[in-house]
Structure 1
Amino acid sequence: MSANQPTSFKRSFGLLDATMIVAGSMIGSGIFIVSADIVRNVSSAGWLTLAWLLAGILTLTAALSYGELSAMFPKAGGQYVYLKEAFNPLVGFLYGWSFFTVIQTGTIAAVGVAFAKFAAYIFPALGDKHILVDLGFMQITAAQLTSILLVIFLTYINTLGVKEGKIIQTSFTLTKIAALFGLIIFGLLLAARKDVWQRNWATGFRLENLGPSGAAPYVGMAALGAVAGSMVGTLFSSDSWHNVTFIAGEIKRPERNIGLSLFLGTLLVTIIYVSANLMFLSVMPLHEIAFAESDRVGVAAAVHIFGGVGTLIIAALIMVSTFGCNNGLILAGARVYYTMANDGLFFKQLAVLNKNAVPAKALWLQCIWASLLCLSGKYGQLLDYVIFVVLIFYILTIIGIFRLRRNRPELPRPYKAFGYPILPLFYIVAATVICLALLAYKPMYTWPGLGLVLLGIPVYYFVWGKQRKVVPA
């Protein structure tokens, strides 16, 4: 390390920047797509709205609880640090292992491919039907190459320093928030139909499976599995809100601004998501939402609002949305690997900052793995597998608040979890119910993800366990 190379992060993010990290990392392409699958699972306007509202309430509850942890440990690493401090290094490592292998990198890959897929509406040569290389065992499409180039470009920008990544994040997030509100308002003013709205809400809170030929009632407890399956899409669309905790070492007044940005960002996105779905219900019949081409509900709504040009409008909006989302994911994720490396729980070469005070090596390693996931074509499946695991780690982290209050009462707590202990307990119970329902009725979402996490145990003990610097809490 050179004498003039920085050894600590610069506190460069204000409250607005931090809030834009929260909102920008949450809003990708999900809001434009997943409502189709939800309607097929529940077949009613009431349950569609409730699925998004419940995801928003759970996210807000978790965000308010994380505020206490972020104020106690205002340093890079976020959830990894909280789990390590509340439990032990193994639990922290298992989160970091899952985070690197699929949670963050898989999301980066999926968002990158979504960018390319919708870019193809404007530039058809970038589509996934344009095969560039056929190796027999795999094909490389223009969409995959575009997604990789996007990840490489944003990674490079973020190696130049915090300022560059911050400018992209704040400007693109403000743009997509304004555009989304514009889409919602134009939809309600220009394309809303009273008869469509009334027919949709005539379904009330009916819970049935909707197929092309009509709805069929669920038998027994299968309805619980349908609700849990519906929550997979809404929870993923509302995920990544905690990315701001990973950059805690770079936020001004972290004891105040992290908790406040978590609340403001998650509240803003919840309002957007619920409002967008109410707009969908006022513009399109439920059957059209459920069976929109390739589940592209946003495209179908935009065509109703703006006519033929609506396809290009929504494509441009999703390009802006996914570009900003991936920037936030790339910027924040590398800080986790940097912190793990400093604890002796990841490649030691990642435990350095470059001359611009950012973890460049961690950024490039993340870039390489995310790019491979883009090529694998399996990232979508991996994201489905890991939703169960994501919820488990959220539950453990919030349980950590109770453990830390009991075991380490001397730690400073500039902010305490809002509604403690009721709201944190509500999240733990609600998320546990969803996990158990997924375990019982959607095993394809649970066992592979759980197996991936358990694979981290031998990795921990045989690769990094002996060289760790940290000791159990």
Structure 2
Amino acid sequence: MDKRQVKATVLHKEVGLLSAISFIVGTIIGSGIFISPKAVLLYSGGVGPCLLIWAACGICAIMGALCYAELGTMIPKSGGEYSYLKEAFGSPVAYLYAWTMMMVLKPSSFAIIALSFAEYASAPFYGDCSPPIVVTKCLSVAVTVFIVTINCMSVKVASNVQKIFTAAKLLIIVIIVVAGIVLLAQGKTETLSNAFDSKPTSIGAIGLAFYNGLWAFDGWTQLNFITEELKNPFRNLPLAIIIGIPLVSICYVMVNISYFTALTTNEILWSPAVAVTFGNKVLYPMSWIVPLFVVFSTFGSANGSCFTAGRLSYVCGREGHMVEILSFINLRRFTPSPAIMLDGFLSILYMIPADINSLINYFSFAQWFFYGLTFLALIIMRFTRKELKRPVKVPIIIAVLMVLVSCYLVLAPIIDSPTMVYLYCTLFILGGLLLYYPFVHLKVKWSRRLMRPITMHLQLLLEVVPPEKCE
């Protein structure tokens, strides 16, 4: 009976090395590499700079992930940046990060991926016409509910789904790369021949090119959100990063080269989805496989995003920074189902507006602001927390470089094109302090009395219990 109780009230280590690599690769490779290349080309100003930016984005992701490998093995807690910022800077900074990620970035990112899935899945039924908005939004809501259900059911089921869809998306990457190699062997190098014959572009435009490239790499931090569920995290966390991120980087550069072998720069810039245009031109009459596998790719990315986002809410609830019910675990499924459901609910809310891509663009500076703080936390804890064991220890110059890169990515677009929206985003982030001070710092008693019956009824409805505090 005691064993059953312990098993029911903790998250279990069910994510092995292969699953860890699948979560990294599967979450990173979503719709970005099939859509973002035209934006990177537009802002970079030419083929050569475009390829260099893709390679630089891969290097940034690798260096950033290595820093996160040190942090994840030094502080083996789930929750990603939240746990590290709390350790280095204290509760207020960690809370502002959690507030921004939970309320905006995580659910809106999930919503964009689900909408991309719906657009590609419904497109074949409407020929040359765009699918009606109501169809794509209803389909995106349906797939969000389905993914949330999978993740609430079982960690093992969600992990197996991730493995399957990661294999599918790697298959379409291989098909595109092989097709590009064949075209290169046939001498299709017109677009690549004068790769650097382009006009110089502004610093702000380069920053926007990096934003779009790094959006396609988004997900390199995801494994740190589930550290407590990794089998042998001190080995598998850095190993999965060392295997997964370079694999994605090589794939992305090779895919872009393949695009440039078959398409002109104008064709890429005018294409609504570069991969589909590539498939129509090169893979006909088998071109239908490209949108099909993009559907698989976006589904896998949405699954990985949902899996990790739920862990952030779970850890915040456990630490007392969010409502207690978010830290509860399903009695039979052993999953943080309330936290997962919250992410799914907010994602559906973000699907209602006409355009949420602008929301992501404006809040990207906030994402990189917190990345920069996390890299700074690594540097600071080298001096303030020398007693912590570091199974992985990266050269400190890498962390310094990533702080500088983060500063550039935060400031360059704002300086190049200052708008009031950035101020509004900053005010929203700081607005989290209005909730932090009374409810977390002062722990107002009436709020706990108000939440107690709500928590009790949700606990009975969802069959969840508080996590066991095991040493």
DSSP 3-state at the match of 1:414: coil
Matched, 1:380 2:380: no
Aligned to 2:293: 317
Return the match for 1:94 from 93, 96, 99.
96
Distance 1:205 1:239 in 2: 30
Deviation at 1:74, TM superposition (A): 1.5
Return the match for 2:211 from 191, 207, 232.
232
Deviation at 1:441, TM superposition (A): 1.1
Mapping 1:5-404, distance limit 5 Å: 6-124=8-126, 129-130=131-132, 141-190=134-183, 194=187, 197-204=189-196, 206-208=198-200, 223-292=202-271, 294=272, 296-307=273-284, 309-310=286-287, 312-354=288-330, 355-404=332-381
CA separation of 1:20 and 1:168: change in aligned 2, threshold 3 A: same
Distance 1:115 1:192 in 2: 34
2:23 partner letter:
I
Deviation at 1:429, TM superposition (A): 1.4
Matched, 1:462 2:438: yes
Deviation at 1:462, TM superposition (A): 3.0
More deviation, 40-49/156-165: 40-49
Distance 1:123 1:466 in 2: 56
Deviation at 1:75, TM superposition (A): 2.1
2:123 partner letter:
Y
1:269 partner letter:
V
Aligned to 2:425: 449
Q: Is the 8 A contact 2:108 2:356 kept in 1?
A: yes
Deviation at 1:425, TM superposition (A): 1.2
Deviation at 1:282, TM superposition (A): 1.1
Aligned to 2:451: none
1:77 partner letter:
G
Q: Is the 8 A contact 2:145 2:344 kept in 1?
A: yes
2:348 partner letter:
S
Deviation at 1:374, TM superposition (A): 1.2
DSSP 3-state at the match of 1:467: coil
Distance 1:6 1:442 in 2: 52
Deviation at 1:129, TM superposition (A): 4.0
Q: Is the 8 A contact 1:128 1:143 kept in 2?
A: no
Aligned to 2:404: 429
2:243 partner letter:
L
Distance 2:268 2:258 in 1: 11
More deviation, 386-395/443-452: 443-452
DSSP 3-state at the match of 1:461: helix
Deviation at 1:192, TM superposition (A): 6.9
Distance 2:44 2:252 in 1: 18
More deviation, 184-193/111-120: 184-193
DSSP 3-state at the match of 2:415: helix
2:58 partner letter:
G
Provide runs of 4+ in structure 1 moved above 6 Å: none
Distance 2:197 2:95 in 1: 42
Return the match for 2:382 from 405, 416, 421.
405
Q: Is the 8 A contact 1:13 1:251 kept in 2?
A: yes
Deviation at 1:37, TM superposition (A): 1.8
Q: Is the 8 A contact 1:43 1:286 kept in 2?
A: no
Deviation at 1:317, TM superposition (A): 1.2
Q: Percent identity?
A: 28
More deviation, 371-380/58-67: 371-380
CA separation of 1:247 and 1:443: change in aligned 2, threshold 3 A: same
Deviation at 1:358, TM superposition (A): 0.8
Q: Deviations over 1:262-313 (max 9, x none)?
A: 2221111111111110111111111211122x2x111111112112541x22
Distance 2:417 2:174 in 1: 34
1:353 partner letter:
I
Distance 1:313 1:283 in 2: 17
Distance 2:440 2:120 in 1: 41
Distance 1:461 1:153 in 2: 37
Deviation at 1:166, TM superposition (A): 0.5
Q: Deviations over 1:86-137 (max 9, x none)?
A: 1111111111111111211111000000001011223339x86435xxxxxx
Deviation at 1:200, TM superposition (A): 3.7
Tell me the C-alpha RMSD between the 2 structures. 2.0
1:260 partner letter:
L
Deviation at 1:331, TM superposition (A): 0.8
Distance 1:128 1:404 in 2: 52
Distance 2:157 2:232 in 1: 21
CA separation of 1:297 and 1:39: change in aligned 2, threshold 3 A: same
DSSP 3-state at the match of 1:375: coil
Distance 2:355 2:323 in 1: 25
CA separation of 1:390 and 1:427: change in aligned 2, threshold 3 A: same
Deviation at 1:203, TM superposition (A): 4.0
Q: TM-score, normalised by structure 1?
A: 0.88
Deviation at 1:65, TM superposition (A): 0.8
Deviation at 1:30, TM superposition (A): 0.9
Q: Deviations over 1:162-202 (max 9, x none)?
A: 1110100111112211221122112321587635x244431
DSSP 3-state at the match of 1:345: coil
Deviation at 1:431, TM superposition (A): 2.4
CA separation of 1:55 and 1:78: change in aligned 2, threshold 3 A: same
1:346 partner letter:
M
Q: Deviations over 1:418-444 (max 9, x none)?
A: xx1121111111221232211201335
CA separation of 1:467 and 1:261: change in aligned 2, threshold 3 A: farther
